[in-house]
Chain A
């Protein structure tokens, strides 16, 4: 009996190997001259699977659109998915995309921790790594000539924070920037620190009073010391960069000691998870530096309405996260560059990208302009927006050209 089951097992294994082998040879067989292949690295499994999938949908919608209009350089565009949730998987999947799938370009990435190692593999093979989403500064600080970040980065997030304090928050409080007292808090890794330091420097340049900058551990079970240290300074503005669970703990602990400063601004605090944690009343009036949300105006972000329509047709719901729009817009810029360069070669696309000069607003569905920093190849015009929680919804507030509704900023905050 035992013998038989062993034989069955061996047969089963051989069959599996055979099937896997077949499916591989099928995908190799589709290696044709008439296609431009783009590898998409995202976390398609694990805790960020849903976000990875939603981000990928942006690439998919852009590809559907270009293929429906005759493709690129006379060829159809094809996407190849690669699932990476950590650095090891990022390396092996990037290797597979380049060596086995023979992709022309790689794009991504919801997770900065996946992008960073994947760019190194792309650099080894001189394949273009087109970054539409990841924020971490180190991705473009490696001196690589093949890594272009067309999406927002910590620099542009800090710019929007400072610009909106100057242009809308100070006037709403009826104060001049020089009279504003600000406490900056941020989680302690490179993500929060880089944004926090840039904000401090630029706000001080404007003459604002940055009373304290407090780094903290986002995994701490208690952040009351951060809240109390901030409260002691009695600031007008509490400016934060962090994640979701530390954000909800900080806001709840501020509520627990009954402290609400006149202005609270957070990076990406437009998350519905925060709404779950604090409720409509708790979030009312809190400002967020956000990826362009779906209420920005069609004039500022041409194509956003068509994108939302095709999303709904294809996936049967409204877009779930703003990262879909960001990868959609980034992919459209890539297609324009491939047309300009008449090639998918990393060097030719870089040359053509460095020449590109598009103002913010009015061209792409994110509202982003294009002007690369020649050193880092970061897009200096990937400009997020300022949003505010109003009656349980996120409303775009700044820049004013982006505002697609009749929403107006409401400040100061009125207690919890």
Chain B
């Protein structure tokens, strides 16, 4: 049983780290980013190819992948989404179009083959229980990244500006904040977070053009469960869903493990639409 709880917490770390980028972009720009999963996939391929090509440790690739993903995010916001800033429907189409674009380009490039890093990082035995390094590093990174993001948003001028824009972009504009620039920065930051997740997940998973799909639904659930735009909410939401999935998979049946958290997700939407960590009535939200 202890092993199941450990597995659940480690899985929670994975679900949390893939959700920060989504909650940041959603919380600030109010765009439902359908391309979230495919950005993750692009980041994973970047990390894979760079690490193979330069024959360097995968975790070092963070230094390259994260800035590249930041730039990619900046370009998407600056040249695509900002053109349709007042048309939420069109924004959906743009992100959906990006999803199709990224996946099909990668399909053409990879011919649909599977790629994995053969990395056996070993395990840490604790009594009769076992932790694996890949997921443990990811969990620590998920907690550290949450703290850094919170510090940034709450204790820097740019962080305050981003929060101001997310709470009311018209008022923020009136007091002189440059809304468009902050949006570009927010999308860049969100993509950079996806880049961090991508590097951390590359040693754990097999990479193929649809790999993002395995994470995208669950990260939407995490974000809504935790409260839109809430970083601690995403961490807690990830943990709750990870534990639920692991426990129900073990105690009920592996084929039903997702149904349990879908049910919780529906209940939360029904009773607390602002999410567990959102302030009731704050569905209009903001970044916290």
A contacts, CB < 8 Å to B: 46-50, 188, 214-217, 219-226, 228-229, 244-245, 248-249, 252, 255-258, 273, 276-279, 281-282, 416
A50 and B111 form a contact (CB under 8 A): yes
User: B168 an interface residue at 8 Å Cβ cutoff?
Assistant: no
A192 to B123, CA, bound (A): 31
- Taking a contact as CB atoms under 8 Å apart, the answer to whether B120 and A416 are in contact is yes
Determine chain A's interface SS by DSSP, over half rule. helix
Given known pairs A222-B246, A224-B7, the reply for A217 and B107 (CB within 8 Å) is no
Say which residue of B116, B204, B250 sits within 8 Å of A273 (CB atoms).
Answer: B116
How many residues of B are in contact with the other chain, CB < 8 A? 41
Q: Once the chains are docked, how many angstroms separate the CA of A79 from the CA of B206?
A: 36
Interface centre among A248, A252, A255, A276 (most CB of B within 10 A): A252
Given contacts A215-B255, A282-B118, contact A225 B206 (CB under 8 A): no
Q: Is the CB of A228 within 8 A of B250?
A: yes
Cα of A406 to Cα of B107 in the assembled complex, Å: 40
- A residues in contact with B135, CB < 8 Å: 256
Q: How far is the CB of A311 from chain B (nearest CB, A)?
A: 19
Chain A residues positioned under 8 Å from B282 (CB to CB): none
Q: Does B249 contact A (CB under 8 A)?
A: yes
Q: Is residue B134 contacting chain A, with contact meaning CB distance below 8 A?
A: yes
When the two chains form their complex, are residues B246 and A225 in contact, meaning their CB atoms are under 8 A apart?
A: yes
Say which residue of A47, A222, A255, A281 sits within 8 Å of B7 (CB atoms).
A222
Contact of B114 among A46, A229, A258, A276 (CB under 8 A): A276
B246 partner residues in chain A, CB cutoff 8 A? 222, 224-225
Closest to A224 in B: B7
* A228-B3, A276-B115, A276-B118 known, 16 other contacts, Cβ within 8 Å: A50-B113, A215-B253, A216-B255, A221-B214, A221-B215, A222-B249, A224-B4, A224-B7, A225-B257, A229-B250, A229-B254, A248-B116, A249-B206, A256-B134, A258-B125, A273-B116
Q: Are B214 and A219 in contact (CB under 8 A)?
A: yes
Closest to A282 in B: B120
Is the pair B209, A255 in contact by a Cβ cutoff of 8 Å? no
Q: Which residues of B contact A222 (CB under 8 A)?
A: 7, 11, 14, 242, 245-246, 249
Chain B, 101-112, contact with A by CB distance < 8 Å: what is the 0/1 string?
000000100011
Do B204 and A244 have beta carbons less than 8 Å apart?
Answer: no
Contact of B249 among A50, A225, A245, A278 (CB under 8 A): A225
Bound-state Cα–Cα, A217 to B246, Å: 13
Residues of chain B in range 111-162 having any CB-CB distance to chain A below 8 Å: 111-116, 118, 120, 123, 125, 130, 132, 134-135
* CB proximity of B203 to chain A, nearest CB, Å: 9
Expressed in whole angstroms, the minimum distance between the Cβ of A187 and any Cβ of chain B is 9
Question: Once the chains are docked, how many angstroms separate the CA of A256 from the CA of B204?
Answer: 10
Q: CB distance A244 to B114 under 8 Å?
A: yes
B170 within 8 A of A: no
Among B14, B114, B218, B250, the most chain A Cβ lie within 10 Å of the Cβ of B114
Cβ of B93 < 8 Å from any Cβ of A? no
Which residue in A214, A229, A258, A277 is a CB contact (below 8 Å) of B116? A277
Interface: B258 (CB within 8 A): yes
State the 3 A-B residue pairs at the shortest beta-carbon distance, nearest first.
A225-B249, A47-B112, A277-B116
Q: Which of A49, A219, A223, A257 contacts B112 (CB 8 A)?
A: A49
**Nearest Cβ in chain B — how far from A102, in angstroms?**
32
Please tell me if the beta carbons of A276 and B116 are within 8 angstroms of each other in the complex.
yes
Bound state CA distance, A215 and B123, in angstroms?
Answer: 27
Which residue, of A47, A221, A248, A255, has the highest number of chain B Cβ atoms within 10 A?
Answer: A221
A238 to B208, CA, bound (A): 26
Interface residues as binary, B240-284 with A (CB distance below 8 Å gives 1, 0 otherwise):
001001100110011101100000000000000000000000000
Q: Given A217-B255, A252-B204, A50 and B112 touching (CB < 8 A)?
A: yes
Say yes or no: A226 contacts B118, CB within 8 Å. no
Q: How far is the CB of B146 from chain A (nearest CB, A)?
A: 20
Selected A-B contacts with CB under 8 Å, 12 pairs: A221-B205, A223-B254, A224-B7, A225-B257, A244-B206, A245-B206, A245-B208, A256-B134, A257-B123, A273-B113, A273-B114, A276-B115
